[in-house]
């Protein structure tokens, strides 16, 4: 058996599964101390379907901890930024365009150093060890423990990042170092930003993974802990400690994976409505479609792997002003829905109250919303359906019909038909699709590199990339017999010499369970 948990802004959902079979589900209120909510969810599962802690093979958790830490600029580590590229790339220094609150949280520890490569692999300038040793002295003097190293065109040649890390670590052995070629993609500023965000989150990652382990131990579960990452696969706790930024948008990703399983549809548009937001994404071949553009995280432009998701501030906890032209959201009561919503005896009119008044949901005490004007309630619900339908329509890539799958506890806000979609599916256990997505997630390996003609023929290059992706998946914990390639993407890079091509390959496999590895 295995457990999936998804921590949202309003609810913490958990599911107990045996293979693809759902044994028990539970939805509890997210607590200010999120790990307490996880313990409550585990206790609820044990009550719904008693199990021995030793029978659990794996616990997979999707969490918003790291995203929230960046958005709120809370708990981030002071981070030194080392860019290798002088005398080039000095015109726009690191942290340019960052919100003031984030710059203040991580500090202004910026170091421009020699090094880097041209797009064709030629050195911009040699690495200067003495220069980096002076940087190490400054890092120690400022009391900084986290460092983000970015070299120009390191996705083409990462040698200088690796060498710089070795020099700094030799001077300051306790440094936590993030390297840009391991975090982001081609595009200096966005890749650098992603690396800085990752480095600033490293102590948060230690604290959160430790708290999750403690929550499991408290209820007697000693199974391996995995966290969801934003491509629909899992990573173990040690990987999270190195790359916490990979957890961003794991919630919507889990929902999309869970929706695909529950609906039996490998290609669909998924609408996930929670307590605060509506997230809409596309599933292609059973996995979330990745975004192809830069992603804004807390006001910082980044280019690491993220799902293609669009969101609006409509959820079950959204505040509502009911009138001739009703206003829904974006403000939400969030995790206080269970005490502030009218149907729960509170004094705030929420979208959940409107859904109950309109007969779409049976939650709380319907008599507490019986006084609401029925015509205004109907117009409000119609407006919500139209807004979601328009948002979902942006996920189309062609005029061909595509089904919509509704999941999330807040999906009770929508009727069984949505404008623009011929087929709308609300599968069984839709309210905990996010936790199911976490529970069934596989283990993945990805390669995203620039190859040239010197690396062989097109077939040789693709075979080399596929083999590397398959190997990475197995090393990450996938069962070798189940690993397969699910995505191959080639992008010719006309501005690079030697018939260069960027190749991205993703492989996934089932997690090794029960000590059979």
Domain edges within the chain: 79-200, 312-436, 441-509
> What's the pLDDT score for residue 133?
95
Kindly state the average pLDDT of the residues 464-471: 90
Buried b (16+ CB within 10 A) or exposed e, 377-399: bebbbeebbebbbebbbebeeee
Would you state the pLDDT for residue 98? 92
Residue 516: its pLDDT value, please? 38
Positive or negative, the Cα torsion across 211, 214, 219, 224? positive
Instruction: Tell the CATH topology of 79-200.
Output: Rossmann fold (3.40.50)
Query: Percentage of the chain with pLDDT > 70?
Result: 97
With bands split at pLDDT 50, 70 and 90, how would you rate the model's confidence at 248? confident
Cα distance between residue 2 and residue 512, in whole Å: 12
Residues with Cβ within 8 Å of 371's Cβ and at least 6 positions away in sequence, in order, are: none
Asked whether residue 219 carries a pLDDT value surpassing 80, the answer given is yes
Buried/exposed 350-368: b ≥16 CB within 10 Å, e otherwise: bbbbbbbbbebbebbeeeb
Note the pLDDT tens digit of each residue in 180-199.
988 877 788 999 999 999 99
């Amino acid at each position: 058996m295995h457990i999936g948990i998804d921590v949202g802004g309003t609810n913490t959902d958990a599911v107990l599964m045996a293979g693809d079979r759902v044994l028990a589900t539970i939805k509890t209120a997210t607590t200010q101390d999120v790990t307490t909510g996880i313990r409550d969810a585990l206790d609820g599962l044990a009550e719904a379907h008693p199990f021995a802690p030793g029978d659990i093979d794996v616990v997979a958790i999707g969490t918003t901890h790291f995203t929230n830490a960046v958005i709120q600029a809370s708990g981030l580590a002071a981070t030194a930024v080392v860019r290798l590229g002088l005398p080039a790339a000095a015109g726009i220094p690191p942290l340019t365009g960052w919100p003031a609150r984030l710059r203040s949280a991580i500090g202004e520890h910026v170091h421009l150093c020699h090094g880097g490569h041209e797009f064709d692999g030629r050195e911009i300038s040699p690495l200067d060890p003495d220069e980096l040793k002076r940087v190490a002295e400054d890092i120690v003097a400022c009391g900084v423990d986290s460092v983000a190293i970015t070299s120009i065109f390191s996705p083409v040649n990462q040698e200088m990042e690796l060498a710089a890390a070795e020099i700094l670590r030799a001077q300051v052995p306790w440094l936590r170092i993030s390297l840009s070629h391991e975090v982001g993609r081609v595009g200096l500023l966005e890749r650098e930003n992603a690396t800085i965000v990752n480095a600033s989150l490293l102590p948060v990652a230690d604290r959160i993974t430790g708290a999750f382990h403690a929550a499991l131990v408290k209820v007697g579960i000693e199974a391996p802990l995995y966290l969801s990452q934003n491509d629909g696969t899992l990573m173990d706790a040690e990987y999270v400690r190195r790359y916490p930024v990979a957890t961003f948008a794991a919630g919507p990703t889990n929902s999309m994976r869970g929706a695909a399983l529950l609906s039996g549809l490998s290609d669909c548009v998924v609408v996930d409505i929670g307590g605060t937001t509506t997230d809409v994404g596309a599933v292609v071949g059973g996995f979330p479609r990745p975004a192809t553009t830069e992603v804004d995280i807390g006001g910082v432009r980044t280019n690491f792997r993220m799902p293609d998701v669009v969101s609006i501030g409509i959820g079950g906890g959204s505040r509502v002003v009911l009138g001739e032209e009703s206003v829904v959201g974006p403000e939400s009561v969030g995790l206080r829905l269970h005490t502030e919503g009218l149907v729960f005896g509170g004094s705030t009119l929420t979208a959940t109250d409107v859904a109950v008044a309109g007969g779409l949901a049976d939650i709380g005490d319907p008599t507490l919303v019986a006084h609401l004007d029925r015509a205004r309630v109907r117009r409000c619900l119609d407006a919500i359906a139209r807004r979601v339908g328009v948002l979902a329509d942006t996920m189309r890539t062609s005029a061909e019909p595509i089904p919509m799958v509704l999941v999330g506890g807040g999906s009770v806000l929508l009727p069984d038909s949505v404008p623009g979609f011929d087929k709308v599916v609300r599968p069984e256990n839709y309210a905990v699709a996010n936790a199911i997505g976490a529970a069934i997630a596989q283990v993945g390996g990805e390669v995203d590199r620039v190859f040239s003609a010197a690396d062989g023929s097109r077939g040789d290059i693709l075979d080399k990339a596929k083999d590397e992706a398959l190997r990475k998946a197995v090393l990450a914990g996938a069962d070798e017999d189940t690993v397969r390639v699910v995505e191959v993407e080639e992008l010719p890079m006309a501005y690079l010499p030697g018939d260069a091509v960027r190749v991205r390959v993703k492989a996934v496999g089932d997690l090794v369970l029960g000590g059979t590895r």
